[in-house]
Amino acid sequence: MTEENIVPKRGVALWTQITIFAFLVGLLALVGIGLQRAQKPMAEFNQPVPDFDIFYYEGYEYNNTPKMKLSDFQGKVVLVNIWASWCKPCEQEAPELQEAWQFYKEGGQVVFVGVDYVDTPIGAKQYLTKFNITFPNAPDLQSSISSILNRNMGVPESYVIDRQGILRSVKIGPFASVNEIKAFVDAWLE
Amino acid sequence: MKKYLSLVLFLFVFVSLFTSVAFAQETTPTDNQVNAIAKQLFCPVCQNTPLDVCPTEACRQWRELIRQMLSEGKTEAEILQYFEDQYGPRVRQEPPRAGFSWLAYIIPLLVIAAGVFFLFRALKGWTKAPVAESASGGVRNDVSKKVSAQDDYVVRLEDELKKRK
């Protein structure tokens, strides 16, 4: 390197460099901690589903209990169906889900839980009335349930959780028939 | 007398007509009133689309909900709070002024403050340099001695120049 290539530069004071570096490291640490706190646990296949609260719509409670946890269903097979009143594909499967619920309801071994994703209470009530749905249904308050279960953040999606609370199956999109729902659930009833 | 009576009747009809219009305006919020709140919220389904311009059915329902709440006499703050409680803080355009979200407000201020500080320092340096240059001539060696104390490069440059002389 020749002398001509040397460019004079004004040095930044050491304390300034240290301060800037410390500030950036602190900021990154703060963002990292914040993101870690904000991140909720997600359900994984063949793993226990992280517990969540269910606040049922009035008239759609399970055993007249307005508030429950997923863990309260231990010992039963749970089908969680995520839907919304503005979702057209959800309307395709709604009658089939109700028919399947009528089939399983008396046995007491299977529970259907509808989870209403980012919906208005009026829209939800109209939808539930329109399709004569009677199985337990709850709003997805602050997306707390879908953030644990819903992988694609789309509707409709359905999940089967076995008697031990382990996530076993996921169905993305609407069910085509009652038989498909039965096959989806029965595999985990044994 | 008959004349007065018809005048009173006319006034009564006229006034009642206007009050009914005013009443209708109070109970049925306009699209502008609804959109004033809707634009502070994001569509729950699409990414980063304000609620007031989103064409989805979900957003149409939300706007209707805002209209209904307004007609029930709810304030803007109450409606926004309802949506936050129901659907989470992510639906608000403005991050909540609490916890981790404070960073969204603090960091830009810190960055601006740092920028001002460094700009001030740089300006100070630029204004000093011409003074040193203007003091050339008889005192040139004194000036270069002062500068050289701060900068090795200047020392080397001065040496090279001396050698060439």
Please write the tens of the pLDDT for every residue from A134-167.
Answer: 999 999 999 899 989 976 668 999 999 999 999 9
Q: Which residue of B has its CA nearest to A85?
A: B58
End residue of a domain, out of B35, B67, B94: B94
Q: Which chain B residues contact residue A26 at CB under 8 A?
A: none
Higher pLDDT, B70 or B127: B70
Query: Does residue B38 sit at the A interface (CB-CB below 8 Å)?
Result: no
More confident residue, B99 or A18: A18
Structure tokens at A66: 């307005």
Residues B27 and B47 in one domain: yes
Same domain, B159 and B109: yes
CA of B151 vs chain A CAs: smallest distance (Å): 8
Which of A41 and A81 is assigned the larger pLDDT? A81
User: Which range marks the domain in which residue B70 is found?
Assistant: 2-94
CB proximity B71 to A under 8 Å? no
**B44 at the A interface (CB within 8 A)?**
yes
Cβ neighbours for A40, distance < 8 A, ≥ 6 positions apart = A50, A144, A147, A148
Tell whether the model's pLDDT for residue A128 goes beyond 80. Answer: yes
Q: Is A109 touching B (CB cutoff 8 A)? A: no
* B72 in contact with chain A, both atoms CB, cutoff 8 A: no
Highest mean pLDDT (candidates A9-13, A36-40, B84-88): B84-88
The pLDDT assigned to B15 comes to 56
Is B78 found in the same domain as B21? yes
The confidence score (pLDDT) of residue B142 equals 57
Give the integer Cα–Cα distance in Å for B94 and B104: 10
Amino acid B104: pLDDT: 85
Q: Is ipTM beyond 0.90?
A: no
Architecture in CATH of A53-186: 3-Layer(aba) Sandwich (3.40)
3-class SS of residue B89: helix
Q: How high is the pLDDT of residue B24?
A: 47
Residues B78 and B15 reside in one and the same domain: yes
Quick one: B90 and B107 in the same domain?
no
Give me the phi and psi of A163, to 5 degrees please.
-65, -25
A120 and A87 Cβ atoms separated by less than 8 Å: no
Higher pLDDT, B146 or A116: A116
Interaxial angle between packed helices B57-71 and A121-130, expressed in degrees from 0 to 180 and rounded to the nearest 10: 120
- Dmax of chain B from CA atoms? 121
Q: Omega of the bond prior to A121 within 30 degrees of 0, cis?
A: no
Residue finishing a domain among B94, B111, B136: B94
Neighbours of B149 (CB within 10 A): 10
| Same-domain status, B74 and B11 | yes
Taking CB atoms and an 8 Å limit, are B64 and A120 in contact across chains?
yes
Q: Are residues B107 and B88 in the same domain?
A: no
A10 lies within 8 A of chain B by CB: yes
- What is residue A37's predicted lDDT score, i.e. its pLDDT? 78
Q: How confident is the model at residue A17 (pLDDT cuts 50, 70, 90)?
A: confident
Contacts of A141 in chain B (CB under 8 A): 85-86
Which of these three, B76, B94, B112, is where a domain ends? B94
Same domain, B90 and B106: no
pTM to 2 decimal places: 0.71
* 8 Å CB contact of B100 and A8: no
> Is pLDDT at A97 greater than 90 in this prediction?
yes
pLDDT the model gives residue A27? 86
Residue A126 has pLDDT above 90, yes or no: yes
Residues with Cβ within 8 Å of A103's Cβ and at least 6 positions away in sequence, in order, are A178, A182
pLDDT of residue A1: 46
A139 Cβ neighbours under 8 A, 6+ residues apart: A55, A57, A115, A116, A119, A121, A124, B86
- Do B45 and B109 share a structural domain? no
Name residues whose C-beta falls within 8 Å of residue B86's C-beta, 6 or more positions apart in sequence: A139, A141, A142
Contact A68, A56 (CB under 8 A): yes
pLDDT at residue A120, rounded to an integer: 94
pLDDT of B11 > 90? The answer is no
Residue B154: its chain A contacts at CB < 8 A? 8
- Same domain for B42 and B115? no
- Minimum-distance CB partner of B100 among A8, A34, A139: A34
Query: How far apart are the CA of B97 and the nearest CA of chain A, in angstroms?
Result: 14
Whether residue B54 is found in the same domain as residue B134: no
Mean predicted lDDT score pLDDT of chain A: 90
